[in-house]
Chains A and B, each alone.
Chain A
């Protein structure tokens, strides 16, 4: 392994784009550097479920060849990317972290995957995740445990934990994650990277294996705010294949990130949400997390932002509402996995009838957390219980949306910690679903209201990353990027280096 190729894994996307466009490095070199790094280090991290290897090198070679013939290539041509394993990719194994889809080769590709491919990016592989995105630690994967590059005894967050570990561990320059209740933001926070959940409807869901249709969104996970904004611009925008896709032009997100990095936040009104770690609402929040959050807010104020505290009382109801709505939709979305058309089919030996084969397939194919949520959702939608559970939860959703509406009448963005704690040890919460669910406490309100929210590193607590969450009104994603980039630039400058630089390359990899 050459020094150059291992260095390439530490270059951000903006840097790779420059190197590739100028011809200083080839796409094959960049891809090979990442594949080598994966080969060397993914045994330790467990970020990938599938690596494209030869296919990735072939795609990279095609980019180099096109460039050699003088073809007009986009700025991202040859930049590698990793996809969360629920992004459907034609001919590439896609399991959503579940045994029930083991061996399935999709006949089509998600819009997100197609747009990234059309931009010339090179698919490195598919990243691990909690089964069907149900979890906050990636421990619910049916395949493997993924480890946090900052401390391999700790979780990388979830459900996009393979993506966060890959990006933080320099096994991919960036990755697509998906966020239903926090599954982009929370893993980004605990691994010290940037993760943005776009406004619901602003990134196509076509080809994302559904968990909870009214909440799921795909978004970028990257090492810098600018890279995240660039990826968002590639994948975002209207898609006629998704009825819930919003038909408005995307804001200039990368420009917003650049503007934020310039450091002037005068006139920006920042609201600190009292119910998310504020006065009287600190139960379950680690002091280190609260301290980093306070400091980050001070940085924003120092850049000219007007900071006030706002109250959103309905946020306290977000957790129970979420755990009715998401399982209800999931119980229906996951009904298609019964062994008739694709994936696992168990017990079809001629001795069992159809119902038995379908039941056995689901019994063997789904893990315990998936079963728990299917049972919960089935119950919540049952005749006689619908109004009390699903119906009430939808009302809570309306209340939360109103709280946001009232808050955004006075402020431009809302901030909070992304997660109440730093990454917890692997195994610490697996037997306590409620404690596990609490990891999403801060991210759920924006999910339920369909609003954009970003997690950006705010520092370390006991050597582990903490994230600040910035939430904005619907379709004002650019505000998230601007504020996050301002914080990032100010802290990097104060620190003299990026936070991730404190995460050294693993022994033997450099």
Chain B
């Protein structure tokens, strides 16, 4: 059972003998105000069992009513993925016993999903990979079990278990890909790029906050290996709850290495559910699908079929925002940058920030310089996302303007940024409050220049002997006495006038 016992084959070696086929099932918790089938709130982090009612607790006699906003959001996701929207769709009951499903069945969709047959193109290493989408359907989330006592937080070894039904009934969209063969060495990256792109799309649609760390985007990763050249695919495993982009990539990589070792030793892959472990990057066996529950799906008789009419679908299609891929193409052209630079921006999560900074008046080059440079470094040091830094694109644009106007220089700009991040106000306010503006040829600066000359007769001698570059040391000294507020080229010119008399 434990992953430590798994023998692994080196990744590069796997590819000499096997071809991977991947598939992804992604669950997106929709950001609707109320749950899928009742009026309870969906906000994250409330006291356990406070967002519940007879319906989402599965009380006897209670009945579901479908949330129209959730249906609309699902159709939008389907449209963004190029799916066909069904003109007749039904909910179905997926029957199984587990304490976190209050009704003894999950209301889901089975053979009549809302959206089918779409695709998503992702770019990895300059090549485009088409991921076919089999279906996009709507269902309800389960409650959450909390196992108390025991070391692992798992049911094994726990003293008792508690259930929080706040999450039960939150609308969940499941996006299922068709099997993706042919990614080869890039399979882990393709899987990650797919989830990344899907997240961007859902974000652009504004239907979910897609925060993997809060579980509002969750991934199950299917992987199989077949010997190179075989037409028949291998038996797949399904790794559950892979909850970060990095983990998606690691899970694929690990399963490829583990499965290769099993196959190398003449073993067979068991079709099973596996759990991913964030700490070790490994997977371990869960329940076997070969003894799987029969879910006894049948059409949910408590809900009427969904028959979205064509006009409504076209209206939703017309309302779709610009999707991430189109936006990247447009911005790349507008900003005149390379595809690689564009990828950097996207991967850093800086695309929107740069776009807004440009909209606030900065040049694309300046905006990129700040977000990918200083700000990226600070975010990295603080361990947060760029977007979570306490600075707005408008403030960055103002900083850029102050530099370009000569009010401050780059060095001062960094100090101004410190002030902004510390909550001292907009850049101009920080400049004012801390007196960080560049000095003109003021008496103070003249005094500083002359003091520097007077204090370094040896340097003056060298300069006069022809080593003009030695003046650099004096520029540094002046910058130091003025605490960086002087303009370095001005200081240099003033020194030259006085020392060389030019």
Contacts and interface: CB of A to CB of B under 8 A. Distances in A.
Interface of A: 86, 88, 94, 96, 101, 104, 106-108, 110, 205-210, 212-214, 240-244, 328-329, 331-332, 334-338, 340-342, 354-355, 358, 378, 381-383, 386, 390
Closest 6 CB pairs of A and B: A335-B104, A213-B301, A381-B296, A214-B301, A88-B61, A207-B61
B388 to A, nearest CB: 39
A86 B62 CA distance: 12
Contacts of B59: 88, 106-108, 341-342
A241 B65 CA distance: 6
Contact of A205 (B57, B63, B296, B304): B63
B344 interface: no
Contacts of B99: 338, 340, 354
A313 B326 CA distance: 61
B66 interface: yes
Given A341-B58, A358-B97, A243 B296 contact: no
Interface of B: 54, 57-66, 93, 95, 97, 99, 102-105, 161, 163, 294, 296-298, 301-304
Chain B interface helix/strand/loop/mixed:
loop
12 contacts: A88-B61, A101-B60, A108-B62, A209-B60, A241-B63, A242-B63, A332-B93, A335-B97, A337-B60, A341-B57, A342-B60, A378-B296
Contacts of A355: 97
Contacts of A210: 60-61, 302
Contacts of B303: 243-244
Contacts of B62: 108, 206-207
A240 B304 CA distance: 13
B40 to A, nearest CB: 13
A208 B298 CA distance: 21
Q: Which interface residue of B104, B163, B297 has the most chain A CB atoms within 10 A?
A: B104
Contact of B103 (A209, A240, A335): A335
B65 A332 contact: no
B301 A383 contact: no
A209 B61 contact: yes
Contacts of B64: 243
Contacts of B297: 381
A383 B96 CA distance: 13
A235 B245 CA distance: 54
Nearest to B302: A213
Contacts of A381: 95, 296-298
Nearest to A383: B294
Contacts of B60: 88, 94, 96, 101, 104, 106, 209-210, 336-337, 342
Contacts, number: 101
A13 B467 CA distance: 117
B472 to A, nearest CB: 76
Contacts of A382: 294, 296
Given A243-B65, A341-B57, A332 B95 contact: yes
Q: Which interface residue of A206, A212, A332 has the most chain B CB atoms within 10 A?
A: A332
A336 B93 CA distance: 13
A421 B256 CA distance: 70
Given A209-B60, A331-B95, 12 more contacts: A210-B302, A213-B302, A243-B66, A244-B302, A244-B303, A335-B105, A337-B104, A338-B99, A341-B58, A342-B60, A382-B294, A386-B298
A338 B97 contact: yes
B103 A336 contact: yes
A175 B455 CA distance: 108
A210 B54 CA distance: 14
Nearest to B96: A335
B178 to A, nearest CB: 22
A336 B58 contact: yes
A98 to B, nearest CB: 10
Nearest to B99: A340
A242 B64 CA distance: 7
A347 to B, nearest CB: 15
Contact of B54 (A86, A108, A214, A383): A108
Q: Which interface residue of B61, B93, B97, B102 has the most chain A CB atoms within 10 A?
A: B61
A108 B65 CA distance: 17
B54 A332 contact: no
Contacts of A341: 57-59, 102
Contacts of A337: 60, 104
Q: Which interface residue of A207, A336, A354 has the most chain B CB atoms within 10 A?
A: A336
Nearest to A377: B296
Q: Which interface residue of B57, B63, B105 has the most chain A CB atoms within 10 A?
A: B63
Contacts of A88: 59-61
Given A340-B163, A383-B296, A243 B63 contact: yes
A332 B63 contact: no
B304 A244 contact: yes
A197 B65 CA distance: 24
Contact of A332 (B61, B296, B304): B296
Nearest to B165: A341
A386 B57 CA distance: 28
Contacts of A209: 60-61
Contact of B104 (A110, A240, A338): A338
Nearest to A86: B61
Contacts of B301: 212-214, 244, 329
A68 to B, nearest CB: 35
A332 B66 contact: no
A241 B64 CA distance: 7
A69 to B, nearest CB: 34
Nearest to A242: B63
Nearest to B60: A209
Nearest to A206: B63
B97 A243 contact: no
Nearest to B54: A108
B199 to A, nearest CB: 32
A111 to B, nearest CB: 10
A172 B153 CA distance: 55
Nearest to B39: A241
A269 B57 CA distance: 49
A374 to B, nearest CB: 11
Contacts of A208: 61
Nearest to B37: A243
Nearest to A96: B60
A378 B294 CA distance: 10
Nearest to A391: B298
Nearest to A329: B301
B23 to A, nearest CB: 21
Contacts of A242: 63, 65
Contacts of B95: 331-332, 335, 381
Contacts of A329: 298, 301
Contact of B61 (A110, A240, A244): A110
A108 B103 CA distance: 17
Nearest to B160: A350
A342 B59 CA distance: 8
Contacts of A342: 59-60
B175 to A, nearest CB: 24
A214 B90 CA distance: 14
A301 B54 CA distance: 50
